[in-house]
Structure 1
């Protein structure tokens, strides 16, 4: 007999929305006292929650963004791009204090430097409505900073029968927090990159880091850029190679990987297939500036 849970299929993706200013075609990364000139710049809607949701929608999975969006000019421009992405925006709260949220990215191949400004609180007034949405099957938390601001978030999602994934996302003020893993109790799928996993576990070895994380999380997927990705579930470690594709900008590639992996994982596919789906999604993201090529969302 099919239950209400079986009928659910949508992903809620929660996190901050940013306007990304992405500078490419640099010969070196910025240093103090020197002015650099980029060959190109793109203004793109950003933030892990949006990028993951957009790639999920592109894969055919209904995805709703749970976030706050400012009313300033930069936020409005990001909002117009988000509307064209295919993401469900019913749970986006519009508020003047939520913007502008901006990330400036300087990109050279796979090397990047970021400068980011956050604005307002992370928790949207729509959170309760989103968690009670009858179509919701899964909650993806795009950065640990969001969970840090909303400590009960995982418990609230689990109380409503949702599975939960979390990308810690690099935040120098939080990534070394001794209470990070305990705060993530209840997360089903943990999605760090190699640098984040090392900061959290103290191990630079993907296998060792995943072994330590698997004591906390039932499923772990670790992203390592050109080295591919690893996953661990039920004590089994798997690795998949990265795809050889032209790289324009790696901003958001990890969030795109998350979307591909989650989409396959929610369909009950084996972890190797989930890794492959994640890598394919991440490979798509790196071939254009910004985490999501907006032409993919066009009809």
Structure 2
């Protein structure tokens, strides 16, 4: 979806801007020698992907982040091309972040990450004035794993909550969660009302793989916990209701950005005032659609998830 005249943003996403180098080896890696592979460059960054999917689903959204100065104009245009209002700061010393994605035959991924300019995000990049007329602030957890960006983002989150603006967060990376400590992350995100972990992140944050115990732990700290469980679908719960939705069977090419699309589908439905079961099903549909193409963002030719207009007639099953 291309927005030549963007609507006034109602959501603000804060997170990383990355260039994704996606590598699809034609077989197992050969240590010390060659393996043929398909290699492509794609725009990425979890927060950027989330904003792009929100815009693709019709939500007026802005994205705030930091890039290398030489890439500023290109990165701004890439966001405008998918309907996102860019609020990007330029870094004079760091290059735009870069991510190498190694894809297995089944579409699963391993990452090598150079965060680059993302680690320079600061308070000057996130003035409180950007909260004017915003209804929801979503924070990608990647913006919380480095001290400088974390201080700036937490300050904005606190002001947003004080103004009655909904704050949501996704933990983003189990590797970084383990590095900084789950209890620290829980403290840093105390101003958020909704958390969106995947299954591994939920296990890390709660210290258990028991799904019911994960729900009890997270809903004691957040108003709503929405857990992405991959091929098993997803679930959403507060202290009074727990819903599950199965994942549809699709031809998986690349799972990069699937969680970001899920989050966008869920929040787009919630923004429209839909019931929790519909939000969950729309998230699952968007996440599944994202796995059928390479890269983490939709393009102007990316169709809406199959059955998107009919999901109001389906619901997650209470458990």
Would you say 1:224 and 2:251 are equivalent positions? no
Question: Structure 1, unaligned stretches of length 5 or more?
Answer: 1-7
Quote the offset at 1:100 in angstroms. 2.7
Separation in 2, partners of 1:25, 1:80: 31
Q: Do the aligned residues in 1 keep the contact of 2:54 with 2:268 (CA within 8 Å)? A: yes
Structure 2 residue aligned with 1:70, among 68, 71, 81?
Answer: 68
What residue in structure 2 maps to residue 289 of structure 1?
Answer: 294
Q: 1:31 to 1:235 in 2, by over 3 A?
A: farther
Q: Do the aligned residues in 2 keep the contact of 1:201 with 1:209 (CA within 8 Å)? A: yes
What residue in structure 2 maps to residue 3 of structure 1?
Answer: none
What residue in structure 2 maps to residue 265 of structure 1?
Answer: 270
Quote the offset at 1:296 in angstroms. 4.0
Q: Do the aligned residues in 1 keep the contact of 2:68 with 2:95 (CA within 8 Å)? A: yes
What residue in structure 2 maps to residue 4 of structure 1?
Answer: none
Q: 1:186 to 1:59 in 2, by over 3 A?
A: same
Structure 2 residue aligned with 1:202, among 207, 214, 217?
Answer: 207
Q: Do the aligned residues in 1 keep the contact of 2:128 with 2:159 (CA within 8 Å)? A: no
What residue in structure 1 maps to residue 282 of structure 2?
Answer: 277
Would you say 1:107 and 2:112 are equivalent positions? no
Separation in 1, partners of 2:109, 2:276: 29
What residue in structure 1 maps to residue 131 of structure 2?
Answer: 132
What residue in structure 1 maps to residue 217 of structure 2?
Answer: 212
Give the match's secondary structure for 1:27: coil
What residue in structure 2 maps to residue 180 of structure 1?
Answer: 185
What residue in structure 2 maps to residue 5 of structure 1?
Answer: none
Q: Do the aligned residues in 2 keep the contact of 1:106 with 1:114 (CA within 8 Å)? A: yes
Quote the offset at 1:45 in angstroms. 1.0
Q: Do the aligned residues in 2 keep the contact of 1:85 with 1:296 (CA within 8 Å)? A: no
Q: Do the aligned residues in 2 keep the contact of 1:12 with 1:130 (CA within 8 Å)? A: no
Q: CA-atom RMSD, angstroms?
A: 2.3
What residue in structure 2 maps to residue 164 of structure 1?
Answer: 167
Give per-residue Cα distances to partners, 1:92-137, cap 9 Å, x unaligned.
2223335231000011224211101012413363411553332x11
Quote the offset at 1:283 in angstroms. 1.4
Quote the offset at 1:230 in angstroms. 0.6
Q: 1:220 to 1:34 in 2, by over 3 A?
A: farther
Higher normalized helix content (fraction of residues): 2
Q: Structure 1 length normalisation: TM-score?
A: 0.87
Question: Structure 2, unaligned stretches of length 5 or more?
Answer: 1-7, 304-319
Structure 2 residue aligned with 1:44, among 42, 45, 65?
Answer: 42
Aligned length: 286
What residue in structure 2 maps to residue 153 of structure 1?
Answer: 156
